[in-house]
């Protein structure tokens, strides 16, 4: 591992933040990651938002880069295509490719995130902090203000580099925009669709009730 004394602060420990922490840790950076949610490896925080990821070759290249492709592959389910369900209960399998050996992998977002967190924490120069919400970022001082959900206290952390991987409601982007000290613009659009999760329980002997190796879709007009 190459040693690098730069301190990197990552806001957000989702898929991007945990993968970035792992890679920077491998390269010798001192990395502190702050996440507003609890540690998903210890607490169920899915809150019904657990759509599996379609994991393609592009994603697998990132896993190869950090050396965990075999561990990720063990969590994947190959999907050969889309299984369409019509109103009469008939099913049609539409393959992604005409080649039998080509497929897309399905993987649990939570399981992949947990694996990346665990792999990142194996490096002594990577530290994870949970239940810490970023409130704002000072770009000139390279500091970030956080609120600890457990103690209710606010505190400030500084770093040589601050990277935000905190998603659609990014505190860093909000600070950039509201600060008006730099040329910055962004656009945000909201989808008109809603979301509802329905669970299909396994059979009595633990098997799948639907075809395992496909993405299942119930197309109904604008709905899936």
- Domain of residue 175, CATH code: 3.50.50.60
> Among 53, 61, 102, 65, which Cα is nearest to 81's?
102
Any domain includes 139: yes
Any domain includes 77: no
Over the stretch 138-192, which tens digit does the pLDDT of each residue have?
999 999 999 999 999 999 999 999 999 998 889 988 888 887 777 777 788 888 8
Give me the residues of the chain with pLDDT under 50, please: 47-48
Give helix 109-121 / helix 15-26 axis angle, nearest 10°. Answer: 30
Beta bridge partners of 85: 91
Any domain includes 120: yes
- Residue 133's domain spans which residues? 7-50+108-188
> Among 113, 96, 127, which Cα is nearest to 59's?
113
Any domain includes 88: no
CA distance 102 to 3: 40
Q: What confidence score (pLDDT) does residue 1 get?
A: 54
Q: Judge whether 134 and 166 are in contact, CB under 8 Å.
A: yes
62: helix, strand or coil: helix
The domain total for the chain is 1
Any domain includes 118: yes
Any domain includes 63: no
Show Cβ contacts of residue 215 under 8 Å, excluding neighbours closer than 6 positions. Answer: 54, 79, 81, 82, 83, 104, 106
Question: What is the pTM for the complete model shown?
Answer: 0.87
Any domain includes 147: yes
Q: Judge whether 106 and 76 are in contact, CB under 8 Å.
A: yes
Q: What confidence score (pLDDT) does residue 57 get?
A: 82
Q: What confidence score (pLDDT) does residue 46 get?
A: 58
Any domain includes 143: yes
Q: What confidence score (pLDDT) does residue 39 get?
A: 96
Q: What confidence score (pLDDT) does residue 5 get?
A: 81
- Report strand pairing: 7-11 vs 161-164: parallel
155: helix, strand or coil: strand
């Amino acid at each position: 591992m190459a040693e690098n004394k730069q301190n990197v602060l990552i806001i957000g420990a989702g898929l991007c933040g945990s993968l970035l922490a792992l890679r920077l840790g491998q390269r010798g950076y001192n990395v502190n990651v702050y996440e507003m949610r609890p540690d998903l490896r210890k607490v169920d925080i899915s809150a019904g938002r657990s759509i599996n990821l379609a994991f393609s070759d592009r994603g697998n290249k990132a896993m190869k880069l950090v050396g965990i492709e075999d561990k990720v592959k063990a969590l994947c389910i190959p999907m050969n295509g889309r299984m369409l369900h019509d109103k009469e209960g008939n099913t049609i399998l539409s393959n992604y490719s005409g080649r039998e050996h080509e497929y897309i992998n399905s993987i649990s977002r939570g399981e992949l995130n947990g694996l990346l967190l665990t792999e990142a924490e194996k490096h002594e120069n990577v530290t994870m902090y949970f239940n810490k919400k970023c409130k704002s970022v000072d770009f000139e001082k390279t500091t970030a203000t956080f609120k600890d959900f457990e103690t209710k206290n606010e505190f400030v952390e500084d770093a040589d580099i601050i990277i935000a991987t905190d998603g659609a409601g990014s505190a860093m982007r909000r600070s950039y925009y509201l600060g008006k000290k730099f040329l910055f613009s962004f656009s945000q659009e909201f989808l008109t669709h809603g979301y509802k999760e329905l669970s299909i329980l396994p059979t009595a002997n633990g098997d799948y009730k639907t075809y395992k190796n496909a993405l299942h879709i119930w197309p109904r007009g604008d709905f899936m």
